[in-house]
């Protein structure tokens, strides 16, 4: 019984987290249009240029949703993993240019959410 209550609490926290971040993630997608190859290729640079600023902005505006979810799941770890997944699935570096998937703005959020849930 205690296990099922914890699972329900985790699920509820994740649902609230997702609902909170979806519009905020969508608003931040413009950052991807100005990336340079060096910003995308290296994990540390990608983390500092893309992931960290978005994380700081979203966590500040989350109205406690991230704090509540963090009691049950590694929110920041999932967030980082999800943005690396977006990079790996929707961004390529060719001929010293960064190319976004032609449907990047439509695919980025679903790709992010799918990775968050894993």
- Distance between CA atoms of residues 35 and 11, nearest Å: 34
> For the whole model, what pTM was predicted?
0.83
pLDDT at 14: 72
How much is the average pLDDT of 103-116?
Answer: 91
For residue 99, what are the β-bridge partners? 92
Domain boundaries, the chain: 2-117
Whether 57 contacts 24, CB under 8 Å: yes
The Cα-based distances of 72 to 36, 58, 80, 82 in angstroms read 36, 18, 17, 18
Closest CA to 41 of 101, 99, 118: 99
- 22-61 pLDDT, tens digit per residue, is 888 888 888 898 999 999 999 999 999 999 999 998 888 8
What confidence category does residue 3 fall into, taking pLDDT thresholds of 50, 70 and 90?
Answer: low
93-107 tens-digit pLDDT = 988 899 999 999 899
């Amino acid at each position: 019984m205690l296990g099922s209550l914890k699972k329900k609490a985790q699920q509820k926290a994740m649902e609230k987290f997702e609902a909170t971040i979806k519009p905020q993630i969508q608003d931040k997608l413009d950052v991807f249009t100005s990336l340079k190859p060096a910003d995308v290729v290296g994990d540390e640079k990608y983390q500092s240029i893309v992931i960290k600023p978005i994380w700081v902005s979203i966590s500040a505006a989350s109205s406690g949703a991230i704090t509540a979810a963090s009691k049950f799941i590694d929110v920041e770890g999932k967030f980082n993993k999800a943005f690396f997944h977006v990079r790996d699935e929707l961004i390529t570096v060719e001929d010293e240019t960064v190319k976004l998937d032609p449907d990047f703005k439509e695919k980025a959020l679903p790709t992010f959410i799918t990775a968050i849930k894993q």
